[in-house]
Amino acid sequence: MNYSYVMGMDDCIMQLKQHGFFIEKDGCNYTVSFPKDKSSVYEDFVCSHLKVGYWNEYIQGDLVVFLFHLPDGIKRYEVLSYQNSEVLALCEKLCECKFQSIYSMLKGNHFYSKYI
């Protein structure tokens, strides 16, 4: 399974339920779980609905896929073992804060803490 915590998107994400995604509202955000074979469906959806200045990631074991919606378009990164200084710098820039590491950033999220 893949796991994602979705911010910067409205309830249009509920459309993914018809494709076998498990989605729950979490305040103004969403928790999403989906089979690995639905990764491309998820990425296509995120790329077309994520607001500029936001990113989304999903966890797939030791791999984390990051999708950043920057002013010049979508940038996609695959991060193994939570190590990528460029991705960490982008996260810090977009949310205007510092993280000790990608791992600590994700581990601090109540949803992700169950899966990493």
- Reported as a single tens digit per residue, the pLDDT across 50-109 is 999 999 999 999 899 999 999 999 999 999 999 999 999 999 999 999 999 999 999 999
Domain limits for position 57: 2-110
Q: Is residue 41 domain-resident?
A: yes
Confidence of residue 8 (pLDDT cuts 50, 70, 90): confident
Report the pLDDT value the prediction gives residue 9, as an integer from 0 to 100: 87
Report the pLDDT value the prediction gives residue 100, as an integer from 0 to 100: 94
> What does pTM read for this prediction?
0.93
Q: Is residue 116 domain-resident?
A: no
In the predicted structure, residue 41 carries a pLDDT above the cut 90: yes
Q: Is residue 43 domain-resident?
A: yes
Number of domains in the chain: 1
CB neighbour class for 116 (10 Å; exposed up to 12, middle 13-18, buried from 19): middle
Q: Is residue 51 domain-resident?
A: yes
Q: Is residue 71 domain-resident?
A: yes
Average pLDDT score over residue span 18-46? 97
Q: Is residue 20 domain-resident?
A: yes
Rounded CA separation 109/105 (Å) = 7
In the predicted structure, residue 39 carries a pLDDT above the cut 90: yes
Which two structure tokens, joined as six digits, stand for 66? Answer: 């990051």
Q: Is residue 37 domain-resident?
A: yes
Q: Is residue 75 domain-resident?
A: yes
